Each structure stands twice: as C-alpha cells, then as structure tokens.
C-alpha cells in the first residue's frame, strides 16, 4: 500500500472536525449519514475483509430483552433482524444465536479439534477436521429455528416475533457416512451428539434421523462456520428444532435409548402429543414486509414479502390474505423451495389506504397446513385468549394489522 | 440393492433397521480406550456410565459453599442471580426456574423436583458446573452436591445417605411418573398426526 495516499479515515476525521458530523447533517447525496459514521477499520483491513455500508445498520437484538451478554458474561439468545431480510440466506453475522444455558463462545483451534464416533459401533473412530474435509461433501440450504421462537403480545417487530430462525447454505459430511464408516450395531436406536464448549451441550437424536439427512458441517455461507455458530464443526439436523443443531461437535455416541441429557430435559413431558411437537418444526411462515414497526408511506403498490419453511420438507404453497382471512391468494415463490429451508414468497399488492389485516400461511410437501392460533386452541380444547400459548413449537399464523396511517402492528393478540 | 430391498421386509417387521456397514473411505483413527473413557461424560438413566465415587448431602452442603454454588444460586438455593435450586420446605413445590429455559418450551420445573432420573442432575452438575470451571468437580463431589439438592428438596430423607453409581439411578424421583421419550421419528411424516 502507498502510505502517502490520503486514507478515508483521515478524511472523515477531518470532515467531523469541520462540523459535518454534528447532528443530522445531510450529505451531498441528500442521505443522512449514520451516527458515529467513521469506519472502525482502516482501508487496508477493509480491502482484506470487506465491511457493509455504514448506512446499513440492521443488527441482532437480545431476545425477550434478556441481556446478551448477561450478568455472567454469557452470550444469550439474540434474534435475526428479519424485517430487513432479503432472499433466503441470513448473513452469518446476523444469524440468530441461542444457547440452552447461555455460553462463552469457545476459541477452538481447528487443528486441535477432533470428532469421535463411538458407542454401539463396530469401529470407533476419531477424525480431524482436515480428514472430514477429505470426505465427499454435501452442500444444502437449511433453516434453523429455536423452539422459543414464538410471538407474544409484547412483541413489536417481526424480529421479536420470529427472529429466532435463520437460514444458511451449509457444507459438510453426511453424518450417515461417518456412522457407516464406524458400523452401527444392531439394537442401536439413538445417538447422543455433544459439543466441545464449556458446558459440552449434548442432545439425543433418533438414529433414524441421524442416518437420514444430518450433516456434520464445517462450512456456512461460503466460509467456515462462525464461532458463534459452532466453529469448527456443527451438526445440522434439518427441520428439527435448534437445540439439536449441536455446536462445536466433538462426539457422537451411538446408544440404545433416549439419554435424557440436560438438553433433552426440556423435552421431557408427560403428554406424548406435546413431546411430538418439540422435535420436528411444523409448516410456518411470516410476512417480513409489511410487518410490525414498519410504516407504509401511502396508498399504492407494494410487494408483500415473507419467509416460509417447514421441518417436514419443502414448502409447497404459501397463501396470503390482505383482508383478515376472508380471501387467500397464492403467493409467488422468489427462490427455489429447498427442503427444510426458508423460501421467499411475495404477493403484488395495491394498498387502498384503508386499515387491513395481513396474514400468510404455509403448506408443506406433506400437505400439512400452518394452523391459526384459534385452530390450535381448539385442538387443545382451551379458550383462545391473548395468553393462549401453543404447546411445543409454535408454528401458528402471524397477523399484522395495517392502520389507515400506514403504521403496522402485531395483531395476534388484540 | 433391489435384491437387498426384497430381503429387508422380514427384518424390518422385527423392528430392526439395517444400514450398509462396510467402511469405504478408511479415514480417521481408532480412539484409545482412555480417550473413549475420558470423553464419555453423558450419563444415561441406567447410570451405567457413572464413575466410581460417593458423596452425602452433608458433604454436599459444605461443597455448596466451598465451590461457590451459593454465590450465584443463593445461600439457601434460591434468590441468587442464577436459577433456583431448592424449593423452600413447607412451601408448595412450585416449579422453579430452569437454566436457560425461560423462553423456550414450558419449563418442566426445578431439576431436583421434576427430573425423572437423578442421573440427569449428576450429568448436568458434572458437565456444566461451576460456571467458568466446568468439568473440574471430582466424581465424589458431584455425588455429594447431587445428594445435597435431593435432600434439600425432600427427595431423599437422610443427609447421611450416600449417593454412588449404584444408588443414584435407583432414586425414585417425584417427576418420574409418566415421562416419555419422543415418539419414533420417521422421514416424511408430519410431527403429530391430527394436529391442525
């Protein structure tokens, strides 16, 4: 680099000194610069690893207002800013983060990391990360979703109601390939997948699922899995709730029973119907634009846009209503409908400037239809009050209310 | 493969699923017995993975202070920054807070009261506590702390009753009744038939 060239940071500092950064000053292009707009990294660093525009400010926020980091310095649940999302890939740095107990993001040297396959196998094996990368790879797009991803009356944005789901392109080795290398013994029925972080989070996963489509991933969105997402190895269990997606994967033990680990503990229920609703995610969708907290600038054309997904397979159809459910129209898919992946849908819409109610519902390839809160309350024979809380994972329809002034509100609980 | 498929149904009728089992790539190495033993920290309800050692509630009461548990969970096992561990005696056994579960599925409640097997408590204390020093407790210390929480929550009646690999899995936990593992998962089926 030519050190004599004026660098951008120096220029901006000069501009700030000249008073340009004071208050909401308009830039030459007429746009308002973001506050504190001086880039944190030098040009050389930015050329080596690019930043987004300083005018793009969407960030993750703590879920449920629970501080992250918390009082113990643990990273806790943070949500993806879905309102600003486009397409189906969540930038890795905006992928939601969830942790059963909260966690200290481990600083793992991939050269030191190992994955052990053992238990009810003929040939226990230990792999290095480099060995795993030598094996035939698979790349697939899959969503992850925390079971805590449920809309509440207090929620004021789609990030708060639905932000604990994100979608990535994952690259790795099929877990079934590794299990076949090890030779699963007869009588095995479950695996215990365990991480290398401080708490060594472990989940019991049905062997049938492990042999079906689980991936031991080292890649996410074209680069190594990020540390907050499990670097250097993450087990992706497509369509299952988030807790099964074991980060920092270091051990897979093949066993003959449900192990009731600490992670499994939250799934231990008396009612088998509830238990069934805590593993595979049901068909689900949400409109991300217009959504609560956003503002329509006036009557006219808008493209209603949203995300649909299902743990049961690909999204077959998404229907959208703009009149509170009296009529439903088929939405257009803007992306391929991959299995167990976010699918971007849209519907052309001319807003007449009157108050209206927007909803979407997802139908997956199994023919399962995303239910309303009323339908779920009826299934459990409970009254539909604002407090009604669907048991297991909540995949109910989200209602957004558009007021005549163009403001958009969470309408589920009104 | 076609022949294999025709041969499979009798085996599947017996509930046995068969996987292709021969190694193809021959990468990775065989772990040593010591590696497998050291890494194998998940404790099943049978308790067969529990290591040797023993501890009583009386010993656990000392450790609860000495190991710093009281600092986060409160001197009485309640009222600290970290989740409640002990239900006040005589008070209704309201489910306590469960670590990290406050926004997930309905918390099944305080572990010592609602865990179906005491092995779950042992497993969690062993792998997850104390915060920042996880995995440093000796097996006997984990037995003692587990016994302490069981005693304080009225699950065992004597503070001198020793917990070890034999006695711990046999504890009749009040939360045991009716707890079931998830139903069998099958590719390409809805999560719950009949659910709207």
What percentage of chain A carries pLDDT values higher than 70? 90
A100–B99: do the CB atoms touch at under 8 Å? yes
Q: Which residues of A touch B178 (CB under 8 A)?
A: 270
Which residue did the predictor score with more confidence, A369 or B93? A369
DSSP assignment string, A342-368: -EEEEEEEEE-SS-EEEEEEEEETT--
Q: What's residue B18's pLDDT?
A: 57
d(CA A46, CA A35): 20
Considering CB atoms only, which of B39, B45, B101 is closest to A251?
B39
Average pLDDT, chain B: 82
Distance between CA atoms of A166 and A88, rounded to whole angstroms? 8
Q: Stretch A154-181: mean pLDDT, rounded?
A: 97
pLDDT digits (tens, 9 = 90+) for A214-230: 999 999 999 999 999 99
How much of chain A, in percent, has pLDDT values that exceed 90?
Answer: 78
pLDDT band at B95 (very low <50, low <70, confident <90, very high): very low
- Subunit contact B31:A270, Cβ cutoff 8 A: no
For A256, counting Cβ atoms within 10 Å of its Cβ (0-12 exposed, 13-18 middle, 19+ buried), the class is middle
Is the pLDDT score of A338 beyond 60?
A: yes
Which is it for the CA torsion B110, B114, B118, B120, positive or negative?
negative
CA distance A382 to chain B (A): 14
Q: Identify the pLDDT of residue A27.
A: 42
A11, pLDDT greater than 70: no
Question: For the residues of A46-84, what is the DSSP string, one character each?
Answer: HHHSPPPPTT-----EEGGG--SS-TTS-B--EE--GGG
pLDDT digits (tens, 9 = 90+) for A23-32: 333 444 444 4
Helix (H) or strand (E) holding A114: strand A114-119
pLDDT of residue A200: 93
CA A386 to chain centre: 26
Residue B143, pLDDT > 90, answer: yes
Q: Which of B107, B182, B188 to mutate to test the interface with A (most CBs of A within 10 A)?
A: B182
Query: What is the predicted pLDDT for the residue at A32?
Result: 46
User: What is the spatial distance between Cα A396 and Cα B113, in angstroms, rounded to a whole number?
Assistant: 32
Helix, strand or coil, per DSSP, at residue A295: strand
In 3D space, the residue among A291, A281, A232 whose CA is nearest the CA of residue A106 turns out to be: A232
Q: Are A61 and A78 in contact (CB under 8 A)?
A: yes
> pLDDT, tens digit, for every residue of B9-35?
444 444 445 565 688 999 999 999 999
Interface test with B, best of A133, A154, A190, A261 (most B CBs within 10 A): A261
A369:B135 CB<8 A = no
Evaluate if residue B127 carries a pLDDT over 90: yes
pLDDT band at B53 (very low <50, low <70, confident <90, very high): very high
Whether the pLDDT of residue A41 is over 90: the answer is no
Burial A196-205 (b: 16+ CB within 10 A, else e): bbbbbbbbbb
pLDDT at B69 over 90: yes
> What integer is the mean pLDDT of A373-393?
93
DSSP A115-171: EEEEESBSS-EEEEHHHHHHSPPEEEEEEEE-TT----TT--SHHHHH-SEEEEEEE
Q: What is the mean pLDDT of residues A264-276?
A: 81
Inter-chain contact A268–B20, Cβ cutoff 8 Å? no
Computed over every residue of chain A, the mean pLDDT equals 90
CB nearest A278 (choices: B105, B134, B189):
B105
> Which of A69, A200, A216, A396 is the best mutation test for B, with the most CBs of B within 10 A?
A200
Distance from CA of A15 to the nearest CA of B (A): 46
Of A173-182, A258-267, B165-174, which range is least confident? A258-267
Q: How many CB pairs lie under 8 A apart between chains A and B?
A: 226
pLDDT of residue B8 exceeding 50: no
Model pLDDT, residue A262: 81
Q: What is the mean pLDDT of residues A243-252?
A: 97
Q: How confident is the model at residue A276 (pLDDT cuts 50, 70, 90)?
A: confident
ipTM over the 0.90 cut-off: no
Cβ partners under 8 Å of residue A23, min gap 6? none
Q: Which of A261, A227, A266 is nearest to A247 (CA)?
A: A227
Q: How far is B118 from chain A (nearest CA, A)?
A: 11
pLDDT at A383: 94
Nearest chain B alpha carbon to A365: B188
As a whole number of angstroms, the distance between CA A256 and CA A382 comes to: 37
- Reported as a single tens digit per residue, the pLDDT across A175-215 is 999 999 999 999 999 999 999 999 999 999 999 999 999 99
Q: Regarding predicted confidence, which is higher, A27 or A96?
A: A96
Going by C-beta distance under 8 Å and a sequence separation of 6 or more, which residues neighbour residue A118? A124, A125, A182, A251, A252, A253, A254, B31, B36, B39, B40
* Mean pLDDT value of segment B128-141: 94
Q: Say what the pTM is.
A: 0.88
Rounded to a whole number, what is the distance in Å from the CA of B194 to chain A's nearest CA? 9
| Residue A22 clears pLDDT 70, i.e. is over it | no
**Token pair belonging to A98:** 């969830």
Q: Which two tokens stand for residue A329?
A: 């129209």
């Amino acid at each position: 680099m030519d050190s004599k060239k004026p660098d951008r940071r120096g220029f901006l500092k000069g501009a700030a000194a000249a008073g340009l950064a004071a208050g909401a000053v308009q830039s030459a292009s007429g746009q308002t610069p973001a506050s504190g707009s001086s880039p944190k990294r030098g040009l050389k660093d930015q050329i080596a690893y690019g930043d987004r525009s300083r005018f793009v400010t969407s960030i993750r926020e703590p879920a449920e207002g629970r501080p992250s980091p918390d009082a113990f310095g643990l990273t806790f649940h943070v949500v993806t800013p879905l309102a600003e999302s486009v397409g189906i890939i969540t930038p890795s740095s905006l992928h939601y983060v969830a942790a059963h107990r909260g966690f200290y993001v481990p600083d793992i040297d991939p050269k030191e990391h190992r994955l052990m396959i053992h238990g009810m196998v003929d040939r226990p094996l230990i792999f290095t990360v480099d060995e795993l990368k030598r094996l035939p790879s698979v790349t697939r797009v899959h969503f992850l979703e925390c079971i805590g991803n449920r809309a509440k009356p207090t929620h004021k944005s789609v990030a708060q109601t639905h932000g604990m789901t994100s979608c990535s392109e994952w690259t790795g080795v099929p877990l079934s390939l590794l299990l076949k290398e090890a030779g699963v013994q007869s009588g095995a029925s479950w695996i215990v997948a365990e991480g290398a972080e401080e708490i060594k989070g472990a989940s019991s996963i049905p062997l049938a699922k492990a042999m079906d489509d689980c991936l031991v991933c080292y890649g996410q969105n074209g680069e190594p899995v990020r540390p907050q997402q499990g670097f250097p190895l993450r087990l992706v269990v497509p369509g299952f709730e988030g807790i099964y997606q074991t980060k920092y994967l270091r051990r897979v033990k093949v066993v003959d029973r449900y192990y009731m680990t600490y992670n499994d503990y939250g799934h231990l229920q008396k009612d088998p119907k509830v238990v069934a609703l805590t593993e595979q995610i049901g068909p689900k969708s949400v409109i991300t634009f217009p959504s609560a907290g956003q503002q329509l600038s006036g009557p006219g054309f808008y493209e209603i846009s949203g995300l649909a997904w299902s743990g049961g397979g690909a999204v077959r159809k998404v229907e959208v209503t703009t009149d509170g459910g009296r009529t439903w129209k088929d939405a257009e898919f803007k992306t391929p409908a991959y299995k167990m992946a976010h699918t971007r849908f849209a519907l052309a819409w001319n807003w007449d400037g009157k108050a209206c109610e927007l909803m979407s519902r997802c139908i997956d390839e199994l023919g399962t239809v995303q239910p309303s809160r009323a339908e779920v309350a009826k299934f459990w024979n409970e009254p539909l009050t604002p407090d009604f809380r669907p048991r297991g994972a909540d995949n109910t329809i989200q209602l957004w209310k558009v007021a005549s002034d163009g403001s958009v509100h969470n309408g589920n609980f009104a | 493969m076609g022949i294999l498929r025709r041969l499979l149904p009798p085996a599947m009728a017996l509930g046995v699923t068969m996987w292709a089992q021969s190694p193809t790539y021959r990468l990775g190495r065989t772990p040593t017995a010591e590696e497998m033993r050291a890494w194998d920290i998940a404790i099943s309800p049978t308790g067969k993975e529990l290591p040797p050692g023993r501890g009583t509630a009386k010993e656990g009461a000392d450790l609860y202070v000495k190991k710093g548990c009281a600092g986060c969970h409160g001197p009485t096992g309640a009222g600290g920054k970290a989740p409640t561990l002990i239900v006040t005696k005589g008070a209704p056994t309201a489910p306590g807070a469960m670590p990290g579960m406050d926004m997930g599925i309905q918390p099944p409640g305080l572990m010592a009261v609602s865990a179906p097997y005491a092995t779950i408590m042992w497993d969690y204390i062993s792998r997850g506590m104390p915060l920042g020093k996880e995995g440093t407790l000796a097996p006997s210390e984990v037995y003692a702390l587990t016994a302490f929480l069981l005693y304080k929550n009225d699950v065992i009646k004597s503070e001198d009753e020793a917990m070890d690999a034999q006695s711990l899995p046999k504890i009749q936990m009040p939360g045991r009744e009716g707890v079931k593992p998830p139903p069998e998962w099958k590719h390409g089926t809805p999560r719950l038939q009949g659910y709207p």
